[in-house]
Chains A and B, each alone.
Chain A
Amino acid sequence: MASREADDVSLPQSDCYVGPTHVYYTLGPRVFWFFSPVPISKDDVERVAHLARIGIDSTEIDTYTADLDRILDLVEQMNEISTQGIEPLAHPQDMQLRLREDTVTESDQRALFQSIAPQTDQGHYLVPKVIE
């Protein structure tokens, strides 16, 4: 596979075609692939569903796996761009988190906030027993 130094001096002219259902992004010379795309498996989806605490049953798992695979195909297009030495951008204007004086400014509104809770008792939110 043809490779070229993945530096960020200048990107080759790219052509972007937006058709009815596809976005084709082509570069002149091929860029070296840092990460080879791996299709997402049902096991991956189950693992991730558990991490996200979303119940996915056996009738749905195939659909979600196929959908996520489609999305990952789209996402793989990122690998066509060199990002060597590029600083990640977390905030559009690289703002740092603002600090304030360490003084009390809020009042106790627990009763108000808990008035919409599904189940409470003496100021606690109730959930099923965790410790056996």
Chain B
Amino acid sequence: MIPTSHYLVVSLLLFTTGVIGVLTRRNVIIVLMSIELILNAVNINLVAFSQHLASLDGQIFAIFVITDAAAEAAVGLGIIIAFFRNRQTLLADEMDLLRW
């Protein structure tokens, strides 16, 4: 059997990749995709511990996290469409109307 810590390390690597994507990319769509990566890493953690503790609650939580990801993607992409319609750009650092 594969030890649980191996799953944790995979999850950590995916999580950090997602964080790097969120912090460094300028394209808003790729930032959203990096957030999906982060959510995915969390899901791996939840399912690994669900197996580790022989309890299914982790898998239920993972289903709810996926539901949240669907809602978040729908609203986030809607915001991107509205932003693109108004500014004709996709770059995150041009969303600076409220910047002081």
| Mutual binders A and B | no
Interface of B toward A, CB cutoff 8 Å: none
Q: Could you tell me which A residues sit within 8 Å of B by CB distance? A: none
